Structure 1
Amino acid sequence: MRHGPAKEISGGNILEANKPSTADEWCDHYGVDVIDGVATLFKAVDDDYSTSRARQKDISYAPGQIPVAPDWDGGLEECGGGLHASPHPRMALEFNIGAKKFVGCPVKLEDISVHPNGSMPQKVKFRGCCSPCFEVDRNGKPSPVAIEQAAE
């Protein structure tokens, strides 16, 4: 299977690796739940529900907050110019290995930018959340507090 440019490949059937290029394809590829055009992405955060980069821009992913990128570039670049999240909390740890908490981020598919040839295909960039963030465990299950809040 070819995952990128190669100098030489020999053999029988050579398959090209799937590189999702749209938000819908990316979510399908990584098994992200999408309901009514809204994907639930995940962020690994520090105790204050932020990250070192988000904190510089006064962005909080605290439960109940609806973060939006103040520097959204329309999805042009892979990094910067937006918010970033992963398809699963454990995958989000790669971008914040010291994370103490995890949050679910509801994001409209139309606000997600995928970079299929990027250096970090296991994350996407997005303009902002479309409804409040909620706390989850490292397996993506909502915390008891999040469940209580949703019931109210």
Structure 2
Amino acid sequence: MLAAPIPANDKERLAALRALLILDTPPEERYDRIVRFAAEEFGVPIALLSVIDENRQWFKARVGLDVCETQRDISFCGHAIVQPDIFVIEDARQDPRFADNPIVTGEPRVIFYAGAPLLEPSGHAIGTLCLIDHEPRTLDATELAILASLRDLLQEELSGGNEHA
């Protein structure tokens, strides 16, 4: 297993994340609605709004997953935030970076992963909108565009103010 990389600008990224005042806040319908739609639109059992802090991946909104956080070093989203665009793993069992990852070999049995990095207003990737399936799959150009549009909606919500603060 290849641990999730630490971005070169992680100190600044973490400061930008903290400034959003979103970590460890209660669920909010405005985020939940978009994540529910993503799960339904793509027909996946798991969809998440994941936020990456120093040591963990915390889920602001989630469908199909009971836990509210996992370790950053085993997260797929930790890999996605250092990508310039949507990060797709069609079959994690066949990818040497993930094949022996405990969330692939055990629960929640991540086989397919697609993560669209979420940028906060100054441009730091703070997390992802991600789709997870227990079966291998691909996304075509239209599906990638839909995922990017949903990511854009979440980014607008994140930059639109902190009504929960």
Question: TM exceeds 0.5?
Answer: no
TM-score normalised by length of structure 1: 0.27
TM-score normalised by length of structure 2: 0.26
Q: Which has the larger radius of gyration?
A: 1
